Amino acid sequence: MTDEPKRVREGLVVRKFRRGEEPSDDISDSTTVDERFAMVWVLSERMWRWTGRPFPEYDRAHMPVRLVRRNEP
């Protein structure tokens, strides 16, 4: 069995708050836009890898997307 989950837990910070005294979820005052993008990337990558599927290796120009145009009146 691996020690990785234990190592991950060792790096976590846990804070306890009374009900109704929790801090706001808005972290925009304490982080930069770049820091928030980095957080989203880390979470997105972890969740993708958690699925067990191979991580995509295409660049933005070759992303598998489909453009749907709406007919506006």
User: Three-state secondary structure along 25-47?
Assistant: CCCCCCCCHHHHHHHHHHHHHHH
Per-residue pLDDT of the chain (73 residues; tens, 9 = 90+): 566 777 777 878 888 999 999 888 898 889 999 999 999 999 999 998 899 998 888 888 898 888 888 887 6
Q: Is 46 inside any structural domain?
A: yes
CB 45 within 8 A of CB 55: yes
CB 10 within 8 A of CB 20: no
Identify residue 44 by its one-letter amino acid code. Answer: S
Q: Is 37 inside any structural domain?
A: yes
Q: Which domain holds residue 45?
A: 27-52
Q: Is 31 inside any structural domain?
A: yes
Grouping H, G, I as helix, E, B as strand and the rest as coil, residue 6 is helix
Q: Give the separation between CA 34 and CA 42, rounded to whole angstroms.
A: 12
pTM as predicted: 0.48
Q: Is 39 inside any structural domain?
A: yes
Predicted local distance difference test score (pLDDT) of residue 2: 65
Q: Is 6 inside any structural domain?
A: no
Number of domains in the chain: 1
